[in-house]
């Protein structure tokens, strides 16, 4: 499904290796506190990828309009922890494979962020991972039609995410 690049990594990706190492080290130092009163847990994968053209980006999903929960929302691949999951990292990787067909072996996990409470009361752990290879959304099928959960995928470059002029603060009560 995803193309493994045999070409040398783009120069800026190699330059980012040190920053990625620093990010992984910082993630490892984060406290692993759990939310109080959370009985159900979930995890999402925050996939950092390289898109055609070499830009480091974050891969997002647009949820199907037909879903009973989170219909039409922008999301990361993820879901509830299942009994067979060895960890919340495993939950995030399993869900990415089920929803997107993204093989676990293509993701290098850098670490986890602290749990956050979802609007449905779940304790959600964001798992940060690097996707191996180049992703071309025009030719790579990252929507598993059997799951029916994802309508489409899109990416936002890290450069655009880092640019403060692209940010808008919206407050909402959950």
pLDDT by residue for the chain (174 residues), tens only, comes to 444 444 444 455 556 666 677 777 777 777 766 777 777 999 999 999 888 777 888 999 888 877 777 777 888 999 999 999 999 999 999 999 988 888 899 899 988 988 888 878 889 999 999 998 888 777 776 766 566 777 888 888 888 888 889 888 787 775
* Residues 6+ positions from 31 with CB-CB distance below 8 Å: 114
pLDDT in tens, 125-157: 999 999 988 887 777 767 665 667 778 888 888
Paired with 43 in beta bridges are 79, 125
Contacts 24+ apart (CB under 8 A), 53-57: 54/10, 54/12, 54/13, 54/134, 55/157, 55/158, 55/159, 56/12, 56/13, 56/16, 56/157, 56/158, 56/159, 57/155, 57/156, 57/157, 57/158
According to the model, what pLDDT value does residue 6 have? 42
């Amino acid at each position: 499904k995803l193309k493994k690049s045999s070409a040398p990594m783009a120069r800026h990706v190699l330059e980012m290796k040190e920053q990625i190492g620093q990010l992984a080290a910082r993630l490892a130092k984060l406290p692993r506190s759990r939310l109080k009163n959370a009985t159900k847990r979930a995890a999402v994968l925050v996939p950092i990828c390289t898109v055609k053209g070499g830009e480091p980006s974050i891969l997002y999903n647009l949820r199907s309009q037909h879903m009973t929960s989170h219909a039409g929302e922008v999301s990361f691949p993820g879901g509830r922890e299942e009994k067979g999951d060895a960890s919340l990292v495993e939950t995030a990787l399993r869900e990415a494979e089920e929803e997107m067909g993204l093989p676990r072996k293509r993701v290098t996990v850098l670490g986890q962020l602290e749990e956050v409470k979802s609007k449905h009361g779940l304790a959600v752990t964001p798992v940060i991972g690097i996707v191996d290879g180049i992703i071309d959304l025009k030719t790579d099928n990252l929507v598993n039609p059997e799951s029916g959960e994802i309508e489409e995928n899109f990416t936002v470059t890290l450069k655009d995410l880092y640019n403060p002029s692209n940010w808008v603060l919206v407050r909402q009560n959950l």
